[in-house]
Structure 1
Amino acid sequence: MTASPDLGTARTASPDLLKSVFRQHAAGVAVITAQRGGRPVGFTATSLNSVAADPPLVSFGIGTGSSSWPVVAETRHIGVHILGEHQQDLAATFARSGADRFGAPTRWRTGPEGVPILDGVLAWLVCEVVARVPAGESDHRIVLGRVVTGDPAGAGRPLLYHQGRFNALRD
């Protein structure tokens, strides 16, 4: 096999290139929650990944400028919530800067290890934070969590993020 000498529309690596490419990548939508001193925080994440099965590990990215970062930076446990297609409004609330994310109509309770658990999600996990790895120009962290407990029994179909919008699966 030989490489084509004409790379066509190939572009030099840049933040805009990365954003353009990942607009083509459909991702599941999750909400990450944490709590410290009775103050719950949370944010919408499309960077959630399953890292390993044994031990069970997940990862996600967070900007250090995020309002949730000071709590995520210090907390021992976080919640991971897989959203359903019926939860576009919840995803938007947790993505919006300055929103009262845990006020009505958000339904939640304090779960294992004091982690805020959102009601009505497809599945949730509580994870112990095992690492916070610097990424980018030191303005992001990759958080690695070891799964402690969870519940996969929610009903519905997953919410996706594609082309800058929340979407449902098509039949």
Structure 2
Amino acid sequence: MTGPVTPRPETPAVTGPALRSVMRRWATGVALVTAATQGRPTGCTASSFTSVSLSPPLVLVSLYRSSRTLAVITSQGAFGINLLGRHHQDLADRFATAPAEQRFAGIGHRLVRDVPVIEEAMAALVCRVERTVAAADHLLVLGQPMWCDQNGAADPLVHFGSHYECLAVGSARA
């Protein structure tokens, strides 16, 4: 049984900063989105990645329209998703803030179907671009996985409250 509903005063329209504040309360995994052109790798950090469908397999990543990585993805028609573990905070920071030409310096990776895959990633996908959808200042990239791999159990890197957190695998299981 619930009590009476208390009317709330009407609030103004949601602003970008207000939405950002709400989204800081949503825990999400951290991935490196990668691509290559003429053998040169590029990539960026993303937390807006999700599976869309299992039949057929489809994933989605949302990237800022002016992203260099996005430009390579759309020109090449393929991209990688590299899921990061808790020990990859330095990689997440590097791919988020370092100049594009320095992001892969000293980072172990290999090309799978001409897409860079980070050697230490907890798991990785290589996807063919299925389609893109314009969404305000971002582009949603739907990808069909063509290859996947995982490196055993690991604790994932999680972004929450504007900070990286660790989620101990198995800690919440009954």
TM-score, structure 1 normalization: 0.90
C-alpha distance in 2 between matches for 1:123 and 1:4: 47
- TM-fit CA distance, 1:36: 1.2
Partner of 1:36 in structure 2? Answer: 37
Output one character per residue of 1:62-90: Cα deviation in whole Å (capped at 9) or x when no partner: 01122222202212211111100010001
Question: Whose radius of gyration is greater, 1 or 2?
Answer: 2
Q: Distance in 2 between matches of 1:97 and 1:153?
A: 26
Match of 2:23? Answer: 22
Alpha-carbon contact 1:59-1:142 (below 8 Å) kept? yes
1:98 matches 2:99:
yes
The match for 2:6 is: 4
Deviation of 1:121 (Å): 1.2
Aligned counterpart for 1:161 among listed residues 153, 159, 162: 159
- The CA distance in 2 between the partners of 1:97 and 1:67, in whole Å, is 13
Gaps of 5+ in 1: none
Distance 1:5 1:98, change over 3 A: same
CA deviations on 1:113-164 (whole Å, 9 max, x unpaired) are: 111010111110111101111111xx31000001111012334110000111
Residue 31 of structure 1 contacts residue 44 of structure 1 at CA under 8 Å; is this kept in 2?
yes
Any conservation in 2 of the 1:120–1:154 contact (CA below 8 Å)?
no
> 2:7 is matched by which residue type in structure 1?
P
Which residue identity does 1:48 align to in structure 2? F
Counterpart CA distance in 2 for 1:28 and 1:7 is 35
Going from structure 1 to structure 2, the CA distance change for 1:81 and 1:55 (only over 3 Å counts) comes to same
**Distance in 1 between the 2:127 and 2:103 partners?**
21
Distance of 2:76 and 2:12 partners within structure 1? 40
Question: Alignment RMSD, CA only?
Answer: 1.8
Q: Distance in 2 between matches of 1:81 and 1:92?
A: 14
TM-score (norm 2): 0.88
Q: Return closer, same or farther for 1:63/1:6 CA change in 2, 3 Å cut-off.
A: same
Identity of aligned residues (%): 36
Secondary structure in 2 aligned to 1:90?
helix
Q: Is the 1:84–1:158 contact (alpha carbons within 8 Å) kept by the matching residues of 2? A: yes
**Count of aligned residue pairs for this structure pair:** 166
Greater than 4 Å deviation, 4+ residue runs:
none
Cα 1:4/1:169, change in 2 over 3 Å: same
- Contiguous gaps of at least 5 residues in structure 2: none
